[in-house]
Amino acid sequence: MKPEEDNKKTPPEHSGYVKGIIEVKVFPNLSQKVIITTEDRLKLCLQENLKKAERRNDWLAPFSLFIAIITVFVTAEFKDYLLSSKTWEAIFIIGGIASIVWLGFTLKHAFQKIRIEKIIEDLKQDQNHQTDNL
């Protein structure tokens, strides 16, 4: 081989060069965290978080009830039937107040987000308690 042809050769692909111009460096970052847990602990953690997710829609029932009671007050004329008209009105007022209180309790949970990071932390917390007991 002539020396001129030897210089024209491109280095092999695994050498870290692309077409003899750019040097490529690879920095692997493959560290992983492993959480070891039992099936029953995982089920318990997921069930707790599923309950939180289901409570996010609990506000619909008291809100609907409150809207219905407001509609009754706007449209109805209370009359004496089994009870006096004032008693019927008081019953609906108490029902409206109760639905507002119920709505307040359920709205507290309605805006809580369930984060995956929190579930992972719960699993890690369970793992820390398990290793402390050994």
What is the block-wise mean pLDDT of the chain (134 residues), using blocks of 10 residues? 52 53 72 79 84 82 90 83 86 91 87 78 66 49
Token pair for 103: 């709505």
Residue 54 belongs to some domain of the structure = yes
d(CA 95, CA 75): 16
Residue 83 belongs to some domain of the structure = yes
Residue 109 belongs to some domain of the structure = yes
Q: Which helix (H) or strand (E) holds 126?
A: helix 116-133
Per-position b or e across 37-61, b if 16+ CB within 10 A of its CB: eeeeeeeebeeebeeeeeeeebbee
Residue 64 belongs to some domain of the structure = yes
**Range(s) of the domain holding residue 43:** 31-133
Residue 18 belongs to some domain of the structure = no
Residue 3 belongs to some domain of the structure = no
Count how many domains the chain has: 1
Residue 35 belongs to some domain of the structure = yes
Token pair for 46: 């997921």
User: What does the pLDDT read at residue 134?
Assistant: 47
Residue 15 belongs to some domain of the structure = no
d(CA 52, CA 33): 26
d(CA 64, CA 93): 15
User: What does the pLDDT read at residue 94?
Assistant: 92
User: What is the DSSP-derived secondary structure letter of residue 134?
Assistant: -
